[in-house]
Chains A and B, each alone.
Chain A
Amino acid sequence: MIQAILKRLLGAVPALIGVIIVTFILTRALPGDPAAYFAGASGSQEAIEEVRVKLGLDRSLPEQFFFYVRDLARGDWGSSLTTGQPVLTEIGERLPASLELTLVGLILAVVVAIPLGVLAATRPGSWVDHLCRGITTAGVSLPTFFTGLLLAYIFYFLLGWAPSPLGRLDPYTSAPDFVTGFYLIDSLIARDLETFRAAAAQLVLPAVTLALFVLAPLARMTRASMLGVLSADFVRTARASGLHPLTVLFTYAFRNALLPVLTTLGMVFSFLLGSNVLVEKVFAWPGIGSFAIEALVASDYAPVQGFVLAMALLYVLLNLMIDIAYGLVDPRARLQA
């Protein structure tokens, strides 16, 4: 088992190298001359040259790439021009906010999508099936930033059920002591139910917005793969042997149907992390997405590059975890590895 995991870890290396090469190219593709840019508008010719040497832009590309990787490994991801803070520190501070939002969104989507897909597959042609079809087609058509605004309008402005859609906590509540950075968990550790409630209230709308978007591919895949498995021979045999229908459904069919769903999770995470940026902007969520957008508006490139790299590393890591989970669910994949 450990060997299989190690093999998979090695399998992620090419993706990692690819990601670093691409982000390196992106840092060198800045419009105009980066040295002139960093020297500022009033920079003299000497100042520009000085910056060029300081940034290592006077060296050959392979050398520059080497220094780039070395700096990344040392944790030097550049500094933000607007806040003056190192990019890695800023990203580290804001990452928990983004992760909390993304994970809650994913859990909501999974909790709704998988039962919906299973129900639709066991009753083809019924109203559940039609509902599932409708949701899956409509769900992928939703522009996340628009659904977010719509939900904020309905639940904050019209009904007044949700708190004002600005940030992780309302201004009257202070953040719980830092343990994990997830407000929901930290407030529970501090046994502060008031803060927990406040944090959950702020989280509901953005998380539902995210969930609505990724629900569709999950439900669609669950339904399709359940349909396929339910018509397989081994399910017929299990039924013919007189096993309880629920045993057949869950022990036999569901476990096998889960595999293609796990594979889609990779694509789902790609959607999630992408739309996370938009949702953070709509709800003024202080995560790494809104950090990147602020930097983009100010033409502050180091944070944007750091953000792209951080997201890509996170995505590689998530894909790796999916791969490992795949091995746990499917013994065949474990043997092959």
Chain B
Amino acid sequence: MASSTPALVSRPEPPPGPGLLLRQWRVLRYVVGENPLSAMAAGLFVGFVLLALFGPWLAPFDPLASHVGEPLSPPSAAHWFGTDALGRDILSRVIVATRLDLGIAVAAVALSFVIGGLMGAFAGYFGGWFDRASTRISDTIMAFPLFVLAMGIVAAMGNTVANIVLATAIINLPFYLRVARAEVRVLREAGFVEAARLAGNGEMRVLFHHLIPNIMPPMMVQISLNMGWAILNAAGLSFIGLGVRPPEAEWGIMVAEGAQYIVSGEWWIALFPGLVLMLAVFCFNLLGDSLRDLIDPRRRT
């Protein structure tokens, strides 16, 4: 966010650099010490980011190559997670899938954050017809069971990864819109905004340089709480055969491919991708909770 620096001007001068950093480090250490789970989640998060970035180089085998091992062989020293019906190495596929799964979620969340956030900020600041229209749009989206709406959107727009991203972004839009709108409505009457306006700033400048930087903390909390859900949604859509297509490696599809073998006892095909998916969602949810406790202790539950 390039616009966050000018906003500091309207706040009291922060103490010199090292002191501030040290204090933030202490707060961080306190929060982590209070809740060891947060530290674990942070560690996991770093792990997932590394996997997403360097996955293709870390995977021991080619994720798409079949017959790198005996088909349907259980976990062994050569294939830690076993192999699937085509003899593909499951560990490699799970590792490589990280980038696609996280990529879809990040892209979707970024889209709904930018569009929903801007719509909400405009609606909250200016009110009027735009406010009514955007509230109506978000209410209409929320009138659907969200996963079902995502299914309908992908079915109608075409079965591609881009449409999975779009559908996930659309169903998350109302959450960002509502947070941004509510925060801006409260802040727009605040003293510092009044002061900025009196100092001769135009409406747009007040909105973008003074209000939007100040609604960032709750928006960040929303993002981190939303990431896990976005991953779940995308994986659910590909589980039922939408978006990502085989032989592409993706956690949801891999669980779907393993589903038919569960009843005959070949558990490893579905188990490992499912576990990693669960761990990723769990990690993001924990991080979201910690971030919320840190930024907005009132909403702690």
Contact = CB atoms under 8 A, between A and B. Distances in A.
Nearest to B137: A18
B139 A292 contact: no
Contact of B151 (A22, A31, A141, A292): A292
Interface string B223-257: 00000110010011001111000000000100110
Contact of B240 (A224, A272, A281, A316): A281
A73 interface: no
Q: How large is the interface on B (under 10, 10 to 19, 20 to 34, 35 or more residues)?
A: 35 or more
B22 interface: no
B263 A156 contact: yes
Nearest to A281: B240
Contacts of A22: 140, 144, 149
A296 B155 contact: yes
Contacts of B282: 137-138, 141
Contacts of B239: 143, 145, 278, 281
Given A15-B143, A149-B274, A153-B267, A296 B241 contact: yes
A19 B140 contact: yes
A297 B239 CA distance: 12
A29 B275 CA distance: 36
B241 to A, nearest CB: 6
A9 interface: no
A23 B151 CA distance: 12
A217 to B, nearest CB: 11
A21 B140 contact: yes
Given A27-B156, A143-B235, A146-B270, A274 B147 contact: yes
Interface in A96-118: none
Contact of B156 (A29, A137, A150): A29
B277 A143 contact: yes
Nearest to B271: A150
Interface string A21-36: 1110011011100000
Contacts of A301: 155-156
B134 to A, nearest CB: 13
> SS class of chain A's interface: helix, strand, loop or mixed?
helix
B278 A312 contact: no
Nearest to A275: B147
B33 to A, nearest CB: 17
Contacts of B267: 153, 157
A157 B242 CA distance: 29
Given A145-B236, A149-B255, A30 B156 contact: yes
B145 A19 contact: no
A168 interface: no
Interface of B is mostly: helix
Nearest to A19: B143
A259 interface: no
A248 to B, nearest CB: 22
B157 interface: yes
Chain A contact-residue range equals 35 or more
A69 B94 CA distance: 46
Given A296-B242, A308-B148, A311-B145, A152 B278 contact: no
Identify which of A149, A156, A165, A292 gathers the most chain B CB atoms within 10 Å of its CB.
A149
Q: Which of B155, B235, B278 has the most CB of A within 10 A?
A: B155
Contact of B146 (A142, A270, A293): A270
B151 A296 contact: yes
Contacts of B144: 19, 22, 270, 308, 311-312, 315
Interface string A264-275: 000001111111
Contact of A223 (B151, B229, B301): B301
B48 to A, nearest CB: 14
Contacts of B235: 143
B285 A137 contact: yes
A305 B235 CA distance: 22
B145 A312 contact: yes
Given A140-B281, A141-B232, A308-B155, 20 more contacts: A14-B136, A22-B140, A23-B152, A140-B228, A141-B278, A141-B281, A143-B281, A145-B252, A146-B278, A149-B258, A150-B271, A153-B267, A164-B263, A273-B148, A277-B147, A277-B151, A281-B239, A304-B151, A304-B155, A311-B144
